[in-house]
Chain A
Amino acid sequence: MKKYDAIVIGAGHNGLCNAAYLAKAGLDVLVLERNPHIGGASVSRELYPGWTYTNCSYVCSLLRPEISRDLELARHGLQVVPYHGGVTFTQDGDHFGNYPDAERLYREMARHSRRDANAYERFEADVTKQTRLIRQFLLTTPPDPTSFKPRDLKGLLEMASAFTGMGEEGLLDTVRFWTMSIGDFLDEYFESDVIKAHLSGSGIIGTALGVYSPGTAYVLLHHYMGEVDGNVGAWGFARGGMGAVAEALASSFRAFGGEIVCDADVHRVIVERGRAAGVALADGTEHRAKLVVSNLDPKRTFLQCFDASDLPAPVVEQARNFKIRGSSGKLNIALDGLPTFKGLAPNSPLMLSDMHCTDSLERMERAYDDWKAGTWSKDPYVDTLIPTTVDPTMAPAGKHMMTVFVQYCPPALAEGPWTPQARDAFGQTVIDQIAEHSPNFKDLILDCEVRTPHELEDEVGLTEGNIFHGELTFDQLLFNRPFPGCAQYRGPLRGFYLCGSGTHPGGGVMAAPGANAAREILADLRRPDVTPPSYLND
Chain B
Amino acid sequence: MTPHDNRMLLDTPFASRVQAACELREWEPWKGYASPIAYEDVELEYFAARNATGVFDLSPMTKYRIGGPDAEPYLNRLLTRDVRKIRPGRVGYTLWCNDAGMVLDDGTLFHLSQGDYRLCAQERCLDWLLTSALGLDVTIVDETAEVAALAVQGPTSCAALRAMGLEGLESLKPFGLRHYPFDGGELMVSRTGFTGDLGYEAWVAPAHAEALWDAMFAAGRNHLIRPMGNAALELARIEAGFIQAGVDFVPAEQVLRHGRARSPFELGLDWLVDFDKGHFTGRSALLREREQGSRFRFVRLDVEGNKPAPESFILNKRGKTVGHATSAAWCPSAKRNVALASLEMPWGRPEDELYAEIYYSRELRWTRIEARCRIIDGPIWDPPRRRQTPAPNF
A interface residues (Cβ-Cβ under 8 A, vs B): 94, 101, 103-104, 106-107, 110-112, 114-115, 117-119, 121-122, 125, 128-129, 132, 165-167, 169-170, 343, 345, 348
Contacts and interface: CB of A to CB of B under 8 A. Distances in A.
Contacts of A111: 1-4
Contact of A115 (B5, B130, B254): B130
Contact of B256 (A101, A119, A128): A128
Interface in B117-161: 124-128, 130, 142
A77 B32 CA distance: 38
A121 B104 CA distance: 12
Given A125-B255, A132-B256, A104 B8 contact: yes
Interface of chain A, main secondary structure: helix
Nearest to A110: B2
A111 B4 CA distance: 8
Nearest to B141: A114
Interface residues of B, number: 27
Contacts of A166: 258
A94 to B, nearest CB: 7
Interface in B171-215: none
Nearest to A164: B258
Contact of B126 (A103, A107, A115, A129): A115
B31 interface: yes
Interface in B6-25: 6, 8-10
A103 B9 contact: yes
Nearest to B251: A121
B378 interface: no
B97 to A, nearest CB: 15
Contacts of B124: 106, 117-118, 121
A118 B259 contact: no
A129 B9 contact: no
A240 B31 CA distance: 38
A93 to B, nearest CB: 12
A57 to B, nearest CB: 29
B29 interface: yes
Contacts of A104: 8, 32
Nearest to B142: A114
B126 A118 contact: yes
Contact of A107 (B5, B125, B255, B256): B5
B328 to A, nearest CB: 24
Contacts of B43: none
B305 to A, nearest CB: 31
3 A-B pairs closest in CB distance: A103-B32, A167-B258, A118-B127
A129 B1 contact: no
B299 to A, nearest CB: 25
Contacts of A121: 124, 127, 253-254
A122 B29 contact: no
Given A114-B126, A114-B142, A166-B258, A106 B32 contact: yes
Nearest to A106: B32
Contacts of A165: 258
Contacts of B10: 107
Contacts of B253: 121-122, 125
A125 B127 contact: no
Contacts of A343: 4
Contacts of B2: 110-111
B142 A103 contact: no
B145 to A, nearest CB: 10
Given A111-B4, A121-B124, 19 more contacts: A101-B8, A103-B9, A103-B29, A103-B32, A107-B32, A110-B2, A111-B3, A112-B1, A114-B126, A114-B142, A115-B126, A119-B127, A121-B253, A125-B255, A125-B256, A129-B256, A132-B256, A132-B257, A343-B4
15 contacts: A103-B29, A103-B32, A104-B8, A106-B32, A107-B5, A111-B2, A112-B1, A114-B126, A114-B142, A115-B126, A115-B127, A117-B126, A119-B127, A170-B258, A345-B6
Interface of chain B, main secondary structure: loop
Given A103-B29, A103-B32, A121-B124, A348 B6 contact: yes
Nearest to A350: B6
Nearest to B5: A107
Contacts of B130: 115
Contacts of A110: 2
A133 B311 CA distance: 27
B158 to A, nearest CB: 35
A125 B29 CA distance: 21
B164 to A, nearest CB: 33
Contact of B31 (A103, A118, A129): A103
B266 to A, nearest CB: 16
A167 B260 CA distance: 11
Contacts of A117: 124, 126
A373 B280 CA distance: 52
A348 B128 CA distance: 33
Given A103-B29, A107-B32, A345-B6, A118 B255 contact: no
A20 B2 CA distance: 54
A115 B132 CA distance: 13
Contacts of A132: 256-257
A367 B6 CA distance: 32
Nearest to A167: B258
Nearest to B30: A103
Contacts of B31: 103
Interface in B85-108: 100
Residue among A111, A115, A118 with the highest chain B CB neighbour number at 10 A: A118
Nearest to B259: A167
Contact of A94 (B1, B257, B259): B1
A165 B10 CA distance: 40
B296 to A, nearest CB: 16
Contacts of A167: 258-259
Nearest to B2: A111
Interface in B308-355: none
Nearest to A169: B100
A129 B261 CA distance: 14
Contacts of B6: 345, 348
A487 B40 CA distance: 64
Contacts of B100: 169
Interface string B237-272: 000000000000000011111110000000000000
Contacts of B126: 114-115, 117-118
A494 B124 CA distance: 59
Contacts of B1: 94, 111-112
B78 to A, nearest CB: 15
B123 to A, nearest CB: 8
A125 to B, nearest CB: 5
Contacts of B125: 118
A125 B5 contact: no
Contacts of A94: 1
Nearest to A132: B256
B149 to A, nearest CB: 19
Contacts of A345: 6
A523 B6 CA distance: 55
A343 B3 CA distance: 11
Contacts of B8: 101, 104
A104 B127 CA distance: 18
A122 B8 CA distance: 23
A117 B126 CA distance: 9
Contact of B127 (A122, A128, A169, A348): A122
A129 B253 CA distance: 12
A170 B4 CA distance: 37
